[in-house]
């Protein structure tokens, strides 16, 4: 942390599985993602005096090489979502870009979920 400039940004990428464990055998994975939430809140307090913001993004089901949008797994997941499609890496990246910008300099210590209504 001492190498991070004042007014910097820390953004962690977690998972909606911190709040919802939708599959058997996922307890440890969910635990690690929930731990990020506590880390982010604590670091926000520790680094706030230096103007450093610390936030966590929790993506939901997102299309990627391991889960293409047209895969059977994607079809099962989209049935559980308010928006019936997977997210895209660009949509997750847009949230990261927003948090790094000056418009988000008063957002810290929070977890932002971007999941197409998967946890709604």
Q: How do beta strands 110-114 and 53-59 pair? A: parallel
Catalytic residue among 8, 26, 29, 100: 29
Q: Do the beta carbons of residue 99 and residue 107 sit within 8 Å?
A: yes
Q: Say how many C-beta atoms besides its own lie within 10 A of residue 40's C-beta.
A: 22
Nearest alpha carbon to residue 91 among 31, 8, 13: 13
3-class secondary-structure state, position 10 = strand
Closest to 111 in 3D by CA, of 62, 58, 61: 58
- The Cα–Cα gap between 90 and 82 comes to 19
29 an active-site residue? yes
Name the residues annotated as catalytic.
Answer: 29
């Amino acid at each position: 942390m001492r190498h991070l400039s004042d007014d910097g940004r820390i953004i962690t990428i977690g998972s909606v599985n911190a709040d919802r464990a939708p599959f058997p055998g996922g307890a440890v994975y969910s635990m690690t993602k929930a731990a990020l939430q506590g880390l982010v809140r604590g670091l926000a307090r520790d680094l706030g005096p230096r103007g450093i913001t610390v936030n966590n993004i929790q993506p939901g089901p997102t299309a990627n090489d391991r889960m293409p949008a047209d895969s059977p797994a994607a079809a099962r997941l989209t049935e559980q979502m308010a928006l019936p499609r997977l997210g895209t890496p660009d949509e997750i990246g847009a949230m990261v870009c927003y948090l790094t910008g000056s418009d988000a300099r008063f957002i810290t210590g929070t977890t932002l979920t971007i999941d197409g209504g998967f946890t709604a």
